[in-house]
Amino acid sequence: MAAVTRGSFRVFKRLLSQQYYRRCYRLQNLRSDQTLQPLTFKCDRILQMFSNRTLHTAIMSRGPIVQFKLSDIGEGIMEVTVKEWYVKEGDKVSQFDSICEVQSDKASVTITSRYDGVIRKLYYDVDATALVGKPLVDIETESGSEVIQEEDVVETPAMAREEHTHQEIKGHKTQATPAVRRLAMENNIKLSEVVGTGKDGRILKEDILNFLAKQTGAILPPTPFQEVQTPGPALAPAAAAPRPVSTVAATKPPLTTPTPVFTSKDVTEPLKGFHKAMVKTMTAALKIPHFGYCDEVDLSRLVALRAELRPMAEGRGVKLSYMPFFIKAASLGLLHFPILNASVDEGCQNITYKASHNVGLAMDTSQGLLVPNVKNVQLLSVFDIACELNRLQALGAAGQLGTTELTGGTFTLSNIGSIGGTYAKPVILPPEVAIGALGKIQVLPRFDAAGHVFPAHIMKVSWSADHRIIDGATMCRFSNLWREYLENPATMVLDLK
């Protein structure tokens, strides 16, 4: 519109100028200069008035400037560190475009735009501390576009505070465009019942259509199967079976020795991000009276079973390690000892028995120690758990674990054996009440019932429990049941649902 207005102004100015010169030429011989001054002043006033109106129209055509604020990320987080800006002043953005990446003391979060427009101001520099509820950027929205006065979007993977699976979704905070929300409203569909397949769990139009198809019985073409490949444990054979073409492989960087750093002076820096979170978590954890229990497990039969199942899993595009068996065995044990899958309040006056088995896995990443968890293990098969572990390991290697993966855990296993070591003294992660540390698998001599020596695959396990609510006998019985499942994997079939 501004271009059209400027074109009209040029045409009008040209006409006024021609008329003005004609009148001036005619009146040159008839009137004096004093007579020409009012006409000149009048033409200038007309041009000035039209110019002002044109400028006013151009200004009014610009959209309003909206302050994009950092919304509540949850988990009581009040400040974050800006790690990277994906935009700069003057850049044009659309809805759901990434604006920046921030890091809290729990997870890295990508902030995306809710508006279409132009970035006018960045409020923070890289590594600066941004406060929840304060502006991050100013966005000049496009003229005529509808400014939706809703809370700003914080894009994390699925963004759910409560755990969810394909079978059950509780308290899921959905991410969807207005068009998708309108489509769901027109078909009387609750977005909380739809599983999003878009980026970071966003619900797409196809998800709504697939949900409708399931309700009406329509048949839709299947989605190509894609899984993430991760390397297996240290005992896995070097040769891998051929992978399907549709498999997306995630290469793990080779282990390298840390480069020694020599400095000439001391360096002091504030604790930020995950290091700051570790201070809070471990300070709270050491207030818990820990009870320790150690044992060893003969995994010889499990090693043979995994060797048999591994080619089948790789044929489906998934790397099968020992951890899915460890996690599933723990979940089966928690069904018999639910107090180990519980939490207590700060005053230790109430105990909450968790319905979901969200088993965490301590993971060593470039960002430090992180503990993502597999949701609802009690509903998953060993293969499902392997798929989820592949995904979590790929996200951890890429530094993209979000709040959903890192929160909501109810029980934890720490696989220290993947790095080295046998026994450990694991520290409970509040508000959980138990944790296990798994040592490396070693081939050691053992005696059979007849007294003969045979090579056995032995793994040490170390348990820690909250001694305020869990006694030693309970921890021991749970460990015995967990060990029985792993030493005789066929027994797990009896309890699988």
The residues carrying an active-site annotation are 467, 471
Q: Label residue 156 exposed, middle or buried (CB < 10 Å: 0-12, 13-18, 19+).
A: buried
Q: How far is CA 404 from CA 104, 159, 284, 375, in A?
A: 13, 6, 22, 10
Structural contact between residues 9 and 21, judged by C-beta atoms closer than 8 angstroms: no
Question: How far apart are alpha carbons 433 and 342 in whole angstroms?
Answer: 6
Report the alpha-carbon distance of residue 492 to residue 97 in Å, rounded.
46
Query: Whole-angstrom Cα distance, residue 428 to residue 465?
Result: 7
Beta strands in 128-218 (DSSP E): 129-131, 135-141, 154-155
Any idea how long the chain is?
497
Give CA–CA dist 438/413, Å, rounded.
Answer: 7
159 vs 173: CA distance, rounded Å = 6
The two tokens of residue 494 are 């009896």
The rounded distance, in Å, linking the Cα atoms of 20 and 157 is 68
How far, in Å, CA of 285 to CA of 427, rounded? 7
C-alpha count within 13 angstroms, C-beta hemisphere, residue 54: 17
Q: Is 159 left (phi over 0), alpha (psi -120 to 50) or beta?
A: left
φ and ψ at 261, to 5 degrees?
Answer: -115, 125
What are the structure tokens assigned to 493, written together?
């079939």
Contact assessment for residue 138 and residue 119, using Cβ atoms and an 8 Å cutoff: yes
Q: How far is CA 394 from CA 124, 163, 345, 375, 431, in A?
A: 30, 20, 34, 17, 27
List 344's β-bridge partners, or say none: 351
What distances in angstroms separate CA 191 from CA 199, 203, 392, 490, one per listed residue? 16, 8, 25, 41
